[in-house]
């Protein structure tokens, strides 16, 4: 038994703890409730002025930041008035997210506030919020944005002594969004800067717009000692650019060809892309040298380039490439051969038609669909009977490409196939028909698609029926009687969106896309706030995952504070081990590598769809983003950027970054295996 003095001390200490901890716990719970409400609004895409106003005036900056992001993601212009207040918040992070959100909404009403915010702040006091404000202005666009950028860039023209502010660099890299309004003359001046990132920012916009006025600048940039400047510039120097800018095609091709042998792999990749666009077999010898490059993705890009350049030497090299050890090179060699006449591709691909590996049969179907001809048609017909739906899908699409009439006939049969991708392809083809009776086939396809975990087949059917319904009175009547009476409503917001775009009769009855039915309750959002958002916001605790591949390990840090629902779904999905023992199904050299598809052909994913959690993190080298097939269509497929890709910013949700394994990331090619993905 404790003595009385000890008990008195214990009671006093307990009272002390209660006095100081209870209000904090209550405050934490109040913050949890606010953040949960905001997550619910984001997830359903529902605008609630009262909730958003209260969150925007919450005493905790975390709540105000998330309020700003929620407004931007919902996208209602009515939020601009709240965001204008948050742009002047006492917390710089809140200001930053408010500026970013104003760019997402893109309402001209916010332009003057953003302009004043940037131009009326001295450089020494500018921070991230001013960078985002510049981006927001570029997203709003128009003549006002062009005038702003001219005034802004003129203030900071670089000299030997000056350091270019970060907000100006952002203006340079975002200038391409202005199109013809891009101030080429001012970007030219910034290329005189001694700062490498300033030069790259200006070159990126000039190259992205392929502006003919910048031809001399892009040519000069190919001699830059800065790797990113070289590979950005050379990517723009294509045959089409030569024609539009009045440059001599052969002289430009020779300039590009020099960079095919650059010491940096990313430069070699982009130079090969550009050189291929000239389509001149005279350049084949230099490309052949790269087929044996030490970098695997350069070898893949070389095989692609040979298909565009053509000629007997290219064909000979590509036929040898079919027997290469690397699957990605084999695949590109076959695809390139399919583009060249008298290449012998039918003979080369024949072993793949009967391969035990579904992926090789899938590639065979794609190649045959490109090659065409009677033999290809016969083999495609054979592959449409394959036991693997992934092969059937590729074969049906290939058959449609070779013989559209026969493809339509076969699509009637395959509109009710067990595989949802096959049904989607069939529906797309049937949507080209004028025959009203096709609607009944599509209606049955839609009935089957209601059981699918993914929306692709349902969307394809709605688009197809919508297209048919607009071809005449008989077709509209068939759509009404055979489809809409059978399906008077839809709870799939992606299907309702498709109806709004392509099927007005259905849209009138089914209603608008929003709000979205998410099947989540407030308790689900509270759990995510407690487990993921607050640990990241308050303690900087971000979860990590390790991807083990045949080429090594990649460790990724996730960003739950920026994309909580995406991170939550990703972690849950990898726990199911659905992605283990798969293959990287898409790798575009010096652009992205992509996986997360349990199906393996680019069509797969979970039985849910995520709303886009667009945030202000940038697509730099190693950034991890969510792959989409349109707004709010995220699932399990993710991609990693090989190099900076500013045009993806604010379009694809960022939810992580590579922390370890950049060299592994660079060596991965299409078809390489993933042993497993697990949480660290």
pLDDT in tens, 536-592: 999 999 999 999 999 999 999 999 999 999 999 999 999 999 889 999 999 999 999
**Per-residue model confidence as pLDDT tens digits over 383-403:** 999 999 999 999 999 999 999
| The pLDDT value given to residue 211 | 85
- The average confidence (pLDDT) of the chain is 94
pLDDT of 497 above 70: yes
CATH code for the structural domain at 522-679? 2.40.100.10
Give the start-to-end residue ranges of the domains of the chain.
4-140, 522-679
| The pLDDT value given to residue 161 | 55
- Please name which of 102, 139, 105 lies closest in space to residue 117, comparing C-alpha atoms: 102
Half-sphere exposure of 580 (CA within 13 A, CB side): 10
Burial degree of 392 (CB within 10 A; 0-12, 13-18, 19+) = buried
In whole angstroms, give the CA distance from residue 358 to residue 388. Answer: 7
pTM: 0.94
In whole angstroms, give the CA distance from residue 195 to residue 200. Answer: 9
**Per-residue model confidence as pLDDT tens digits over 654-677:** 999 999 999 999 999 999 999 999
Q: Residue 594: which residues within 8 A CB-CB, separation 6 or more?
A: 584, 585, 586, 587, 627, 637, 638, 639, 640
| The pLDDT value given to residue 631 | 96
Tokens for 570, please give them.
Answer: 């990703």
In angstroms, the first-to-last Cα distance of the chain is 46
| The pLDDT value given to residue 242 | 97
How far, in Å, are 46, 221, 241, 242 from residue 214 at the CA level?
Answer: 45, 11, 11, 12
In whole angstroms, give the CA distance from residue 670 to residue 304. Answer: 13
- Please name which of 514, 668, 513 lies closest in space to residue 595, comparing C-alpha atoms: 668
Q: Which of 11-20, 188-197, 668-677 is the least confident region?
A: 11-20
As a whole number, mean pLDDT of residues 213-233 equals 97
| The pLDDT value given to residue 620 | 98
Q: Residue 298: which residues within 8 A CB-CB, separation 6 or more?
A: 265, 268, 269, 272, 290, 589
Tokens for 490, please give them.
Answer: 């839809």
In whole angstroms, give the CA distance from residue 391 to residue 366. Answer: 9
The dihedral over CA atoms of 137, 142, 143, 144, expressed in degrees to the nearest 10, equals -30
In whole angstroms, give the CA distance from residue 384 to residue 474. Answer: 32
The residue behind tokens 């695809």 is: 335
In whole angstroms, give the CA distance from residue 276 to residue 271. Answer: 8
HEC secondary structure over 543-568: CEEEEEECCEEEEEEECCCCCHHHHH
**Per-residue model confidence as pLDDT tens digits over 431-442:** 999 999 999 999
pLDDT band, very low/low/confident/very high, at 8 (cuts 50, 70, 90): very low
| The pLDDT value given to residue 355 | 98
Q: Which CATH number fits domain 4-140: 1.25.10.10, 1.10.540.10, 3.40.50.300, 2.60.40.10?
A: 1.25.10.10
As a whole number, mean pLDDT of residues 523-542 equals 96
As a whole number, mean pLDDT of residues 64-71 equals 98
More confident residue, 6 or 361: 361
Q: Are the CB atoms for 557 and 660 separated by under 8 Å?
A: no
**Per-residue model confidence as pLDDT tens digits over 126-177:** 999 999 999 999 999 999 999 999 999 998 887 655 789 999 999 999 999 9
| The pLDDT value given to residue 27 | 56
More confident residue, 537 or 18: 537
pLDDT of 424 above 80: yes
Q: Read off φ and ψ for residue 419, nearest 5 degrees.
A: -85, 130
| The pLDDT value given to residue 12 | 40
Half-sphere exposure of 264 (CA within 13 A, CB side): 18
Burial degree of 333 (CB within 10 A; 0-12, 13-18, 19+) = buried
């Amino acid at each position: 038994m404790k003595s009385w003095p000890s008990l008195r001390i214990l009671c006093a200490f307990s009272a002390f703890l209660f006095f100081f901890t209870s209000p904090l716990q209550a405050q934490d719970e109040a913050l949890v409730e606010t953040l949960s409400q905001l997550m619910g609004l984001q997830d359903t895409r529902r605008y609630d002025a009262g909730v958003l106003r209260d969150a925007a005036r919450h005493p905790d900056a975390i709540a105000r930041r998330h309020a700003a992001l929620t407004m931007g993601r919902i996208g209602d212009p009515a939020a601009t008035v709240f965001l204008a207040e948050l742009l002047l918040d006492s917390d710089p992070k809140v200001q930053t997210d408010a500026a970013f959100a104003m760019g997402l909404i893109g309402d001209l009403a916010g332009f003057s506030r953003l302009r004043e915010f940037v131009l009326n702040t001295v450089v020494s006091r500018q921070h991230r919020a001013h960078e985002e404000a510049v981006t927001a202005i570029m997203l709003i666009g128009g003549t006002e944005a062009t005038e702003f950028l001219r005034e802004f860039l003129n203030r900071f023209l670089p000299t030997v002594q000056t350091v270019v502010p970060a907000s100006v660099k952002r203006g340079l890299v975002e200038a391409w969004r202005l199109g013809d309004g891009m101030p080429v003359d001012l970007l030219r001046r910034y290329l005189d800067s001694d700062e490498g990132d300033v030069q790259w920012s200006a070159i990126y916009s000039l190259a992205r717009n392929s502006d003919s006025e910048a031809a001399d600048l892009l040519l000069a940039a190919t001699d830059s000692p800065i790797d990113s400047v070289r590979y950005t510039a050379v990517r723009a120097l294509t045959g089409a650019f030569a024609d539009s800018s009045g440059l001599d095609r052969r002289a430009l091709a020779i300039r590009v060809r020099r960079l095919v042998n650059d010491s940096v792999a990313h430069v070699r990749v982009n130079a090969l892309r550009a050189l291929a666009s000239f389509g001149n077999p005279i350049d084949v010898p230099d490309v052949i040298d790269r087929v044996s490059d030490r970098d695997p993705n350069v070898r893949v890009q070389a095989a692609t380039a040979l298909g565009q350049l053509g000629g007997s030497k290219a064909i000979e090299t590509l036929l040898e490439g079919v027997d290469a050890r690397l699957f990605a090179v084999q695949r590109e060699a076959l695809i390139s051969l399919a583009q060249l006449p008298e290449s012998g591709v039918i003979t080369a691909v024949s072993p793949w038609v009967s391969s035990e590996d579904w992926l090789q049969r899938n590639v065979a179907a794609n190649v045959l669909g490109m090659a065409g001809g009677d033999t290809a048609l016969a083999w495609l017909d054979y592959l449409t009977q394959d036991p693997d739906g992934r092969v059937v899908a590729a074969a049906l699409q290939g058959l449609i490409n070779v013989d559209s009439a026969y493809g339509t006939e076969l699509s009637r049969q395959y509109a009710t196939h067990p595989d949802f991708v096959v049904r989607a392809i069939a529906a797309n083809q049937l949507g080209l028909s004028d025959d009203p009776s096709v609607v009944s086939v599509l209606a049955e396809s839609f009935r089957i698609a209601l059981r699918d975990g993914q929306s692709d087949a349902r969307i394809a059917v709605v688009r197809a029926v919508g297209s048919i319904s607009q071809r005449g009175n008989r077709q509209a009547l068939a759509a009404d009687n055979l489809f809409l009476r059978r399906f008077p409503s839809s709870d799939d917001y992606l299907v309702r969106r498709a109806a709004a775009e392509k099927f007005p009769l259905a849209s009138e009855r089914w209603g608008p896309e929003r709000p979205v039915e998410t099947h989540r309750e407030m308790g689900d959002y509270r759990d995510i706030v407690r487990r993921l958002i607050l640990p990241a916001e308050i303690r900087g605790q971000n979860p990590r995952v390790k991807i083990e591949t045949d080429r090594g390990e990649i460790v990724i840090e996730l960003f739950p504070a920026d994309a909580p629902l995406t991170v939550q779904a990703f972690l849950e999905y990898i726990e199911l081990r659905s992605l283990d023992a798969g293959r990287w199904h898409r790798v575009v050299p010096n652009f992205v590598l992509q996986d997360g598809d349990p199906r393996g052909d680019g069509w797969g994913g979970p039985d849910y769809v995520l709303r886009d959690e667009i945030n202000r993190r940038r697509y730099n080298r190693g950034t991890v983003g969510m792959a989409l097939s349109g707004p709010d269509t995220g699932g399990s497929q993710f991609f990693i950027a090989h190099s900076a890709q500013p045009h993806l910013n604010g379009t694809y949700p960022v939810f992580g970054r590579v922390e370890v394994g950049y060299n592994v990331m660079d060596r991965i090619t299409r078809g390489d295996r993933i042993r497993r993905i697990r949480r660290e």
